[in-house]
Amino acid sequence: MSLYLITGIGGFIGSSIARSLLERGQQVRGVDNFSTGKRENISEIVDRIDFREADILNLDAMHQACNGVDFVFHEAAIPSVPKSVKDPLGSNQANIDGTVNVLVAARDAKVKRVVYAASSSAYGDTPTLPKHEEMKPDPISPYAVAKLASEHYMTSFYRCYGLETVSLRYFNIFGPRQDPSSPYSGVLAKFITSMLRGEQPTIFGDGEQSRDFTYIDNAVAANLLACEAPKDQVAGQVFNIATGRRLSLNETLQLLRELTGYSGQPKYGAERKGDIKHSLADISRAEAALGYKPSVHFEEGLRRTVGWYREQS
């Protein structure tokens, strides 16, 4: 049995990793300051984990959290493109300074490996599709810059201190428990919950922008594989985690009309600043090095997600 630390355990992705580890009989410790995470995401598991309310910007708390830990999943972040455009300093602190704190604490505690929640936003709007890891990054938003900087810190800590790190570039992860309630929430959580309420969803731009939407179970599986993969294949490296297929928002909305029963039309608004047009991943590197294969395809993930939000409402 290993001890895993999850930063951002109250978040949608962190709490999903925690549940999966508990199902496998592993020991879980988690930290969250609930700036974006939610207590209800861990309410049903809180008595089976070692939970500490703490901010990743508190280095002492991170040192204590890393004590005795085998693996760290660093999921804590302020995860939003538009929020970072509005508040670049806040994004920089949480998404870069916070990462360096976690890395210093993990290095000092001699953690075996740190797996990091990187972002597809690092690629920016370069026209080449699909995006593969050898491409030169071209981040647009402060959020994308911060996520890319933290990837570089991951690699730097492997090179300078020998701390094994793996960066997983998530492509628009979605699924149950993703927070729909903030103006900065992920588009699918917002669309699904408003359509289930019979309310009109808003598309920013013409709706022809596309994403490689990735169901949460695929991301969780990738994280577990990233801990198990041999060091010489993964340490200090970056991997796309996605499905290798993209859909436009207009196409997605059509699928959601069938799944939610919402028959109205969307409202079209102004394009969002810092947004990118198309996103699609080449996942061959993750397949080869991690043995990653997306097991839940988009439509099935969407069906499960709509089912979950419907149960909640």
Q: Which stretch binds ligand UD2 (CB under 6 A): 19-27, 75-83, 106-114, 126-134?
A: 75-83
* Residue choice 15, 16, 33, 120 for contact with ligand UD2 (CB under 6 A): 120
Instruction: Scan residues 165-184 and list those touching ligand UD2 (CB under 6 A).
Output: 170-172
Instruction: Scan residues 242-301 and list those touching ligand UD2 (CB under 6 A).
Output: 249, 272, 275-276, 279
- Residue 143 appears among annotated catalytic residues: yes
Q: Answer whether 85's CB lies under 8 Å from 49's CB.
A: no
| H or E segment to which residue 238 belongs | strand 237-241
Please confirm whether the linkage preceding 130 is cis (ω < 30° from 0): yes
- Angle of the 12-23 helix axis to the 216-228 helix axis, nearest 10: 60
Q: Which stretch binds ligand UD2 (CB under 6 A): 85-93, 114-122, 158-166, 299-307?
A: 114-122
CA distance 92 to 139: 14
- Closest approach of Cβ 79 to ligand UD2, in Å? 4
Residue with structure tokens 């992705």? 13
Count the Cβ atoms, other than its own, within 10 Å of residue 134: 8
CA distance 224 to 238: 15
Fill in the per-residue mask, 44 to 73: x = in contact with ligand UD2 (CB under 6 A), - = not in contact. Answer: ------------------------------
Residue with structure tokens 């790190």? 165
Q: Does 204 participate in binding ligand UD2 (rule CB under 6 A)?
A: yes
Query: Any idea which residues carry the catalytic annotation?
Result: 143
Binding site for ligand UD2 (CB under 6 A): 79-81, 119-121, 170-172, 186-187, 190, 202-204, 209, 211, 249, 272, 275-276, 279
